[in-house]
Each structure stands twice: as structure tokens, then as C-alpha cells.
Chain A
């Protein structure tokens, strides 16, 4: 086999964006994932964007069934999966039709020629073969009979043609691995272990991969071969991680750091289900996972476990959060620790289950009845989900409150190289429990008041099983201190303020300007959540072009950092890009009376850096303040 070491003469590119597109049944997610892993092992920086339909098997060959995986690899630090693809691999006509617009003019288009026949063309809605079109003349078109070459390669191992057809994605992977000088071993090792015991499948996938690789060698594609060198990442041990895995591991870490067993109550829902899958694997850490009968039972059980002394967590997406609203109110009233994870997706209703959106911020802030404040944290990158899970647990356990953790479909499934933290360096979480009387009753006997607070406003919980401290909790309004049911008007007002003030007083880190910011630029871009990569990338480009722009990214959305108001007010212009119609911007305007302007995108896709760059440039060129909101 040719290895990268033997291709020193291949010209070097500093980055490339590759998009694999095919039918849902073609294994494009797997292909993209393998290419990504090989690139990660090779040392590139990278970012990925998996995009797949909500249907498990949409009708084969149709536009609705197209599944795509975009990966951006580079020899330098990057923050997004890229605006447009340099290379598009289209496994069938529908993939070509639906994804051609993602390819840069002049880009490389690789198609599986075998699929461009009458039936598949008709399913994609073509009345002729587009490969004969003038339209494609603007691209560097490479037609490869992938299906037949795969079948040929597999035949010698006795693989039936129908089974061989399933390996054609490995042909594509082999070809692309050759073109971009990817190491081969990680893929080969993976095939061996993934299909262990299924020798025929191993043989077929290996044969297909090798055939694709050899095709690049021999079919005069020599001029196409390039190398993308390793990125100069900080020294350390790296792994390629997606957001849902990082979040799951962060929850396991929080359990270890607090010494409390992790209890997950969950109900399957896209795109949060992978957290349930991941945590179900980690019984060695004492993790209990409970797949409940519905979303409400999932949070109810998590509250019950939390009351019993576990680290209670429930994971879901927007529709599930809506269902959990009343139970969150209960946890707020009971002042019990709980983490509610919302992997946001396009809404309303079923909306776009597999597509990203970040339009649940106002629901997280205000989506419960009564005055029911709840801390909110949001991750900014896939690996940041690990740190923010620990932070959510810290807030929940130290301050005895449910905490909302906002991630989204893009972070959940997207991946990036992550420098592993030193486990010993992670801060422990101190949890205090009540173990003795804290009050004296009228008769002079010791007694326990469940809502007697320390100076920090927090109440140490007495776990069931603690002798003598028996007490009752409930969602009915309670008297502060004793916890007895109380309908007294003044007490209720006191409790409403108390619940509000104690959440508002939770210490959160100050807002800090992102790298590259100067502190006195002409424009401040304020972001939260998964827009970090696109904003950071856009700000860099603007600065390279001579523009002056600063960037602050909020990880804590309730309470907001104490210095945020002053920071916002020190800028002439403030732009807030969000994957919604302007939710954070509303909060900022209401809280700080600043003329922050929204930048909205609600297409089920993340921002590209280009879109934000354009908006920044526009804003910098326009008059200060009073600008109309813009839509990407």
C-alpha cells in the first residue's frame, strides 16, 4: 500500500473542506466519520457538520433521503466546518442535485457514475443526465464507476454483488484517503474491530477501500493528490470528540468530582438520545440510566433520585423540555439539584428533529409558570460540553437548584480534536448535607427546619435515611425556614423574591473578550452557544481585512456575568448573531438598555463564518446604533 510517507511530493494545502453526500443507505455518516478520525490521528485541526434526514430510511435515491457529512481539515487552528465545500463526493444523482450548491465554483466534484442511470435520475427529478451538462463544466468533474469497481474488487472474496454494493462507501473513503494522503491504518484497524467475527464484511470493506485507494494511484488522478499538514496544536493527548459524548463524559466526571452517583432519567428524542446510549455504557462508574415511559417520568425520576442523594440528570430536546416544564417548577420549589439538558433542534412542534437551531433560550429563561428562575449554561464547542457539564453540576449541587444546559444539534453531532484535561486537575464539587437539628421548637426540643438557610441563601439538604431529620417537602408554597405549607400573602412575596434573588446571586465568571479582541473596537459581537466557531472565524477574517471587531461569548446566560452591562455599554455597536429570531438580543436590550442588534438564521444549519463576516462588515460600514436587524 502507498502510505503518506511515500507521497512527499504531493503539493500542500493549508486546509480543505470535503463533503460526502449520498443516500441515507449509502453510509455517508460513517464514511465522513472515518475520514475525520484518520485526519484527527494525522494531526489536523478539524470541524465537522453531519447532516442527515429525520427519516430512518427515506425512499432510496430521492432528494429527501440525502445524507451528508462535511468535514473541514487544516494545518492551522479552525473553528467551523467551513462555508462551502472544496470537494463534493456525490454518490447518486439526488446527492448531486441537493448538494451541488454547497460546492465552491471550480471545486472538485467526484460522482459515482454507476448511479447516474434512468431510475435514479428520475427519482432525483432529472429528465436527463446532468453529467453531460454544460453546467458542470465549471467544476473539476471526476466520474468514477464506484459500484462496479467495488463489486469487481469484492468478487474474489466470494462476496455476492448485492452485498458488495454496501461497501461502495469504503471505495469512496479509499479514494479520498489517497487524494488527501490520509493514513490508512486507523481505517483498517477500525474495520477489523467494528466487524470482528464477520470475516466476509471485513474482506469486502477492505477490498473496497483498497480499490478506491488504488484507483487514485492508477487512474491518472495523480495531479489531484495533495497533503494537508498537521496543525500546530498545543502539546498533549488528543481525541476527536463530539458534543454529546463530551457532555456524557462531563456528567460522569461531575459524578466522580462530587462523589454522588449519576442518575439519568431520559426518553429517546433526537438529537439527545446519544447521551442516553453513551451513559448506559458506563455502569462501571455506578451510572444508573433509566429509559422512562415519557419525558415527564424521566425528569420525575431524576428528581426522585436527586432527592435520594444522586446527581439527577434528565436529557432531552426542545419538545421534551416543554413537557418537563411543570416538573422543573417542582424542582425549583423543592430547591433540589437537577440538570436538565436541552439539545436544541428546529421547532416549533416536531420541527426539524435532525437539524440545529438555538431557539429555546427564552423557553429556558421563562418557559415555566409563575416566577421560576433557573440557572442556564450553554456550551460553545463540542469539547466545551465536557466542561460545561461539570459547571452545570457544580451550580446545581452547590446551590441546590435545577440547571438548564443548552447545547444544540450542531454541537451534539459535530466533532473536533480535544486536548484531554488532566483528571487530577479537575476541581472537586463540595456538597453539604444536613445531619443534625438546626432549630429548637417551642418546647425547647431540637428540630429540623428544611428551609433554614446559611448566609449564602442555600439550604443543606437532609437526605432520607438521616435519623431524626424527617421532614416533608412539597410544591405548595412553603414558609421560609420551617418549610410548612403557607398561603400567607407576605410569605409568598418573600419566597418569590428569595427564589429570584438566590439564583441571581449565583457567582458566575466575568465575561471576557475572546482572543484577538482589542477592547475598544468599533463593534462588539455577542454570541452564545454553538455560534462561537462561526463568530470567531468571521472576526478573524474581518481583522485580517483591517476591520476592528471584538467578540464576547456567553457561557452563563442566567445569571449573566456581572460585568456584562458595562462591557456592552462601552461599545458603539453591538451585534448578536443567533440561530433564532433574536432571543439573547431581547434579553440584553431589556436588561441593559443597549441598542444591540440581532443577526438571525433559522435554516436548520449553523452560521457560516462568511455570513457573520458579511454582517460584521455591513455593521462596521453603517452608522452607529439604530440599525435594522439583519437576516443572514
Chain B
């Protein structure tokens, strides 16, 4: 219960002060490789934070291990750089103990889908109020270039010199499989799209999952270039817009249609606009969103970005504290003396 906490944590008087990017930037020197996609994600978020109407002291960034996990050091907020894979677990405890905080979880594909995969899916399943940003570069960067759980089959890396044998995870499919209530994808080449997506994630009540396609220019350079480069985007990125037909291409000449076997790309002129799927983020059944997540088999074919799913479902931490408040309303605050006498007692 917050009423048992340090009074300093309850300071919430007056309007949230105006801030600028500089206020959200820590004094630490940023140490990613020059040209790394992480820089543009950091910039997008530092520029966005002043617009979100939140206090720096009420904002916490929690990360695991990996290049992406250095993120908290660069934000002038509270932050913890934890251990490999465990950021969603630590963040879960913090968000349960402190519903007044705005908690962000930052990690890479190895951190959150391999060693920490279990924590990610359970955080999403519970629907705890976290903003989870997964920087997907399809490689292990900090350990210098091994395949990751999102690397494509056949990928040649230091630990798969003759080609990767296993199939990758699709982060959006994993999140939808865990029935996350907010699932979105964006990419490091488009600041505005990132900011729109992060803003939506922040506004969402519950666990918000965002996959950020991120270029690791040292160990996996250009892995998303064939879809995210400026000159190919129109044809290769399918921008999902709630309530609108799913169209893409320079002339919006392509669309996505629902077929019994799943969604497929169609030529709008051929099938007619009425056959094009109208995107609805709010459908409770995740199967259409899942089907959309399976549209691109590799980052070389048209790939949906934007919000796949955004539904309301009871938030975990507030439901847990509601149970506590309910019990307290029924029986009052616990009394230690009564607790010690709650089993049969006798006098000597």
C-alpha cells in the first residue's frame, strides 16, 4: 500500500513542470557504436518524454543485459540496469509495489526472447502496466555476433558458421500468443512513427509491447534495409491504421485481405477495395492480428508496422492492490496482536 511508503514518493502537487529534451538526458556519455540504430530510438524517446505529461522522478527505466540494456543510463530518470533477461521480472515487482510510477522495460531480442523469454510472456499474460520496448536487431551485439532467437534460418554468424538451423521467433507473434493487450511494431529509421507508437504504448493501461526493428551496423548491418530504407518503405512497410483499409504501395495499389488460410497481399485493382481488410485493433480474438504478424516471413517482404492489437483488459497490479483494499475494507487494517492470537491459544 502506498500509504506505508516514504512521503517523498507521494509528492504530486501542482501541474507537471514543462521539460525539454535536455531535462530527460543524463550526464552519461552514450557508448553505442557510431551509427547504431539505438541512437535514433534514444533520441525519439528523449524528445517524446516532455510531451507525455509525466514527471521525471516518477519515470523508471528497467533493462536487462545487452546493447539495448544500456538505455537507462542515458535517461535522466530513475533506472536500473539489472541482469540478463530479468528486466520484466524486476519491473513487475516495481510496478506492483508502486502503481504511481511509469515503468519502461528496455531490452534486445536475446535478452527478452531467449534468456528472459519466460518473464516476457508472463508479464504480457498478466497485463501488468509496463511499456516494453524490444529492440530487435536479430543478432547478439554485446557478445560480438552470435545468432539470436530472431535470426533468420540459414543465417551465418560466428556461432553458426555454416548457417543457422533453427527457425526464428517472430516477436509480434510471440506477444500475441501470450495474449498481450497492446502489440505494436516500429523501426529505428522513422522517428515520428516511433514516437506515435511509443506514445500509444504509454497511454495503454496494461502491458504494452513494442518491437522496434533496429539496425546493428556492426554485426548485422542492413538486415532491415530492404524494408525500412526511405526509398523502399512505401512498397515494403504496411502501415496499420485503426479503422482504415490496410493499403500500401506508392499508389496504395496493394492491400491485405482475409482468406480462410490467413491474410494475404492482394492487388486492389484486381479484387476491389471492398475485399481489403479494414484494420481493427480492438478485436478481442487475436487471430486476425496473429495472421497479420505472419504476413512477412522474412524482413525482405512487405511487413506490417503500427499497432496490431490494443484492447482493454483488467490491469494486473491494480487488480492485486484492489484485492488488498477490498480485504482491508471488509476486515480493517491487520492487527499484529490479533494475528498472533489467530490460532487456538491458552493461558499459563
Contact = CB atoms under 8 A, between A and B. Distances in A.
Interface string A9-44: 000000000000000000000000000010011010
A196 B238 CA distance: 62
A537 B58 CA distance: 56
Contact of B348 (A236, A290, A312, A464): A236
B164 interface: no
A303 B58 contact: no
Given A283-B324, A463-B8, A464-B57, A420 B96 contact: no
Contacts of B76: 470
Interface of A: 37, 40-41, 43, 186, 230, 233-241, 245, 249, 252-253, 255-256, 259-261, 263, 265, 282-288, 290, 292-294, 296-298, 300-310, 312, 326-327, 329-330, 334, 419-421, 423, 433, 435, 463-476, 484-485
Contacts of A287: 324
A278 to B, nearest CB: 10
B97 to A, nearest CB: 4
B90 interface: yes
Interface stretch (B78-86, B184-192, B194-202, B217-225): B78-86
A238 B348 CA distance: 7
Given A297-B122, A474-B73, A435 B80 contact: no
Nearest to A433: B6
A312 B340 contact: no
Contacts of A233: 348
Given A300-B119, A301-B96, A464 B6 contact: no
A300 B88 CA distance: 9
A168 B76 CA distance: 68
Contact of A467 (B26, B57, B62, B331): B57
| Shortest Cβ-Cβ A-B pairs, 5 listed | A304-B93, A300-B89, A301-B93, A474-B81, A465-B9
Contacts of A474: 72-73, 80-82
Interface string B1-41: 10011101111000000000000001010000000000000
A282 B98 CA distance: 19
A282 B339 contact: yes
B343 A473 contact: no
Given A300-B92, A305-B96, 11 more contacts: A236-B348, A259-B4, A283-B327, A290-B92, A297-B92, A301-B89, A304-B80, A306-B93, A307-B93, A463-B5, A471-B78
B345 interface: yes
A297 B348 contact: no
20 contacts: A43-B346, A238-B346, A245-B343, A283-B323, A284-B334, A285-B336, A293-B118, A304-B90, A305-B94, A306-B93, A309-B98, A465-B6, A466-B8, A466-B57, A471-B79, A472-B26, A473-B80, A474-B80, A474-B81, A484-B28
A294 B80 contact: no
A292 B93 CA distance: 10
B60 interface: yes
Contacts of B118: 293-294, 297
Interface of B: 1, 4-6, 8-11, 26, 28, 55-58, 60, 62, 72-73, 76-83, 86, 89-98, 100-101, 118-119, 122, 320-321, 323-324, 327-328, 331-334, 336-337, 339-341, 343-348
Contact of A475 (B82, B89, B343): B82
B334 A260 contact: no
Contact of A290 (B73, B93, B344, B345): B93
Given A261-B97, A283-B328, A464-B101, A469 B57 contact: yes
Given A43-B346, A297-B86, A284 B101 contact: no
A284 B77 CA distance: 33
Contact of B328 (A41, A284, A288, A305): A284
A327 B83 CA distance: 7
A468 B86 CA distance: 27
A469 B8 CA distance: 11
B96 A288 contact: yes
Contacts of B347: 235-238
B60 A464 contact: yes
A237 B333 CA distance: 23
B343 A241 contact: yes
A470 B57 contact: yes
Nearest to A386: B340
B89 A304 contact: yes
Given A238-B346, A466-B57, A334 B93 contact: no
Contacts, number: 234
A476 B69 CA distance: 12
A466 B328 CA distance: 28
B93 A302 contact: yes
B324 A308 contact: no
Nearest to A257: B336
B90 A261 contact: no
B348 A308 contact: no
A487 to B, nearest CB: 11
Contact of B81 (A284, A308, A472): A472
B90 to A, nearest CB: 4
B4 A330 contact: no
B333 A284 contact: yes
B341 A472 contact: no
Contacts of A237: 341, 345-348
Given A326-B83, A465-B9, A472 B72 contact: yes
A351 B93 CA distance: 31
Most buried by A among B55, B96, B119, B346: B346
B341 A470 contact: no
Contact of A308 (B10, B93, B336, B344): B93
A469 B76 CA distance: 10
Contact of A284 (B100, B331, B346, B348): B331
B56 to A, nearest CB: 6
B344 A472 contact: no
B90 A300 contact: yes
Given A297-B86, A327-B86, A468-B57, A303 B93 contact: yes
A265 B60 CA distance: 20
A285 B56 CA distance: 31
Contacts of A263: 93, 96-97
Nearest to A303: B90
Given A300-B82, A467-B57, A239 B344 contact: yes
Given A293-B119, A305-B97, A464-B101, A284 B340 contact: no
B73 A485 contact: yes
Nearest to A484: B28
Given A263-B96, A309-B98, A475 B81 contact: yes
Contacts of B82: 300, 303, 330, 474-475
A469 B97 CA distance: 19
Most buried by B among A252, A308, A484, A485: A308
Contacts of A469: 57
Given A297-B89, A464-B9, A186 B344 contact: yes
